[in-house]
Amino acid sequence: MSRSALYSPRQQSGIGLLGAVILSAGVVVAGFLLATAVKDFRKYDQFIEVRGLAEEVVKSDKASWNLAFSAYGETPQAASQAWVKQQEKLETTVLAMGFEAADIRRQPMNIYENINPNGGQVEPAKRWRAQGGIVVETPKVDAVEQATLKTDVFLNENIVLESSFVQFYFTDLNSIKPRMLKAATDNAKEAAQTFASDSGVTVGALKTATQGLFSISAPLGEYGGENTVMKKIRVVTKVQYLVE
């Protein structure tokens, strides 16, 4: 005997109606959940992407001063000896400017034979040329900046420099990174709020954030930063905010 035979036609009709009601309720609930999921998905998918900028001017904390010169002699040995004496005199002069022996790094000496490009004879006392110099590396940035303006000091000691150039560096970037990233993020959120207000939406939670590279340049330009004592530190962040 089939299971349906145990029930009367009226009972079977009631069971069928109950099943239809339950099925309909299930479809309604499923439809509500699906609608909510789509709504939440669209809400999550809507976001504002902005960029935040932070700039800060700081002072260099390290300087590198390169001093180069040449000495001459009739023989390679004579040129080398003349160069050593000149180097000792140069180092003594630099120490008298307030620097320490630990700040001075000697550059290697190179010896060349001078050749007259016109085919004439080279002056015997300058037949051989020894070239080299020293590099002053120090955190005494102000002292280096002042010393580079006093070229007459070397001339008074009969030291003829072939080149004198200085480079300034800022090496403590980690000390300012946190506040600069915060400033860049705040700047990005301000931009997002302005954009959202104009669009009739509200800025929600942070979705993603990407840190850009830190750049170091001259305060008034994008290049030539190594020659200036003051540095402009710049970072740009890319941030996405959900909208409501």
Q: What is the DSSP string of 126-171?
A: GSEEEEEEEEEEES-HHHHHHHTT-THHHHHTT---SEEEEEEE--
Q: What are the pLDDT digits (tens) for 207-235?
A: 888 888 899 998 887 666 788 999 999 99
Higher pLDDT, 25 or 135: 135
Give the whole-number percent of the chain exceeding pLDDT 90: 54
pLDDT, averaged across the chain: 82
Mean pLDDT calculated for residue range 129-156? 93
- Do 48-59+173-243 and 62-169 share a fold? no
The residue extents of the domains of the chain are 8-42, 48-59+173-243, 62-169
Distance between CA 190 and CA 218 in Å, rounded? Answer: 27
| 189 vs 221, more confident | 189
Does the domain spanning 48-59+173-243 belong to CATH 3.30.110.170? yes
- Its pTM stands at 0.72
Cβ proximity of 214 and 173 under 8 Å: yes
Based on its alpha-carbon atoms, the radius of gyration of the chain, rounded to whole angstroms, reads 39
- C-alpha–C-alpha distance, residues 57 and 186, integer Å: 18
Residue 61 pLDDT exceeds 60: yes
Separation CA 92–CA 106 (nearest Å): 13
In angstroms, the CA 68 to CA 161 distance is: 6
Tens of pLDDT, residues 81-134: 999 999 999 999 999 999 999 999 999 999 999 887 776 778 889 899 999 999
Provide CATH code, domain 62-169: 3.30.70.2970
Phi and psi for 241 in degrees, rounded to 5? -115, 140
